[in-house]
Amino acid sequence: MNKSILLVLSLALAVACGKKEASAEDNYQPAGGEATTEAAADPASYDPKRGEGKYDTVELGATLDQAMASKGEEVAGVKCTSCHKMTDEKLVGPGWKGVTERRTPQWIMNFITNPDPMIDKDPEVQAQLEICLVRMPNQGISDDEARGILEYMRKNDGVK
């Protein structure tokens, strides 16, 4: 009986941690040809200012998009704030205070939507993993949701 309960709890935890079915977005290839396995696996090809993913640039407004920030806050409330505080204090993962000052918008968007390759390649993320001891799960966050979360992070960092 105890084994059955543990199995059910383990499955529930796996589902709650945001596993998603594969989609066309998961097979993203950058413009200009197919990525080779060697290049994708080579940490030397990693750009720490941009991260790993489809975002080369992210255009931000000079002022905060309040509607987008509100939507981002809703998504973050469901998928992010159980592990991240809005202060600089660590919960499970690092706090978000100041993240938009430390990281480029494209890095943030790439990490939110594509955490696994970045965890494997980014030395600063790997150092953070040694502190937090838990890999950020892929929450299956859409591009629009990620952009809203980025705007919410900007709001948290004082952008008006």
- How would you write the pLDDT of the chain (160 residues) with one tens digit per residue? 555 544 444 444 443 444 344 433 333 333 333 333 343 456 677 888 999 999 999 999 999 999 999 999 999 999 999 999 999 999 999 999 999 999 999 999 999 999 999 999 999 999 999 999 999 999 999 999 999 999 999 999 999 9
Phi then psi for residue 126, to 5 deg, are -65, -40
Question: CA angle, corner 91, sides to 90 and 96, nearest 5?
Answer: 55
Q: Which domains does the chain have, with CATH numbers?
A: 64-160 (1.10.760.10)
Contacts of 98 (CB under 8 A, 6+ apart): 88, 157
Provide the residue type at 73 as one letter.
Answer: E
Q: How far apart are CA 94 and CA 121, in angstroms?
A: 18
Question: CA angle, corner 111, sides to 81 and 25, nearest 5?
Answer: 110
Phi then psi for residue 73, to 5 deg, are -65, -40
Q: How far apart are CA 20 and CA 79, in angstroms?
A: 13
Phi then psi for residue 81, to 5 deg, are -75, -5
Classified as helix, coil or strand, 5 is helix
